[in-house]
Amino acid sequence: MDENDPNTSDSLPRNRVAIFFTLAIAGAVADLWSKQAIFAWRGLPGEKDIWWVIDGYFGIETAVNLGAVFGIGQGQGAIFAAISVLAGVSILAWLFYFRAAVSMWLTVALGLISGGIIGNLYDRMGMWWQSGYPDAWKSGVRDWILWQASDDWKWPNFNIADSLLVVGACMLLYQSLFLVDDTPKDNQDKIETKKAKNDDKQS
């Protein structure tokens, strides 16, 4: 590796890898643990009534989602699993090959999204499924968080992984609207400055 090459000498901050993988792993563990605990407590869908935290508005109810986030795209579990794998690989490439990890904001956002991807991908691959469960559940995702404004307006059940995906996506949207000239541009300025200094030394 040429130490005078500005594209190689200006390394990513060391804490970015640790932050990204900590968020991704912690998010996935929290999601998978909560699914296991809630389903062990409340049983399979339909076995027990809703356990209300705030009566009529927020509660715990087990469900199996055969679609994507919040029930979108029912019956396409295998396709969503493949998309999840592709998204995970793309995130790693974006952060560490294309150097988006110079931005702390992007590192955190994509760490949260990755945690959500891992949590739901585990279910999509049927790793929670047991003999005796409906075959359709092999690519289904366990949900347990219930929120509704009224009996006539209910949001599809969701889980911690879905929440991580939404928070991460909102952070990306905010970044695209308000932080366009954030760290990546600063990093490019550093590279150009470093290159200019190297040119001066060589001349």
* 142 three-class SS: strand
Residue 182 is among the residues annotated as catalytic for this protein: no
User: 158 forms bridges with which residues in the sheet?
Assistant: 145
Write out the two tokens for 72. Answer: 């979108």
User: 64 forms bridges with which residues in the sheet?
Assistant: 142
User: 150 forms bridges with which residues in the sheet?
Assistant: 153
Q: Are the C-beta atoms of residues 117 and 84 closer than 8 Å to each other?
A: yes
What whole-number distance in Å separates Cα of residue 138 and Cα of residue 78? 9
Residue 162 is among the residues annotated as catalytic for this protein: yes
Q: Are the C-beta atoms of residues 69 and 80 closer than 8 Å to each other?
A: no
In the set 2, 123, 152, 162, the catalytic residue is: 162
Q: Are the C-beta atoms of residues 197 and 189 closer than 8 Å to each other?
A: no
In the set 143, 181, 186, 200, the catalytic residue is: 143
Residues involved in catalysis: 143, 162
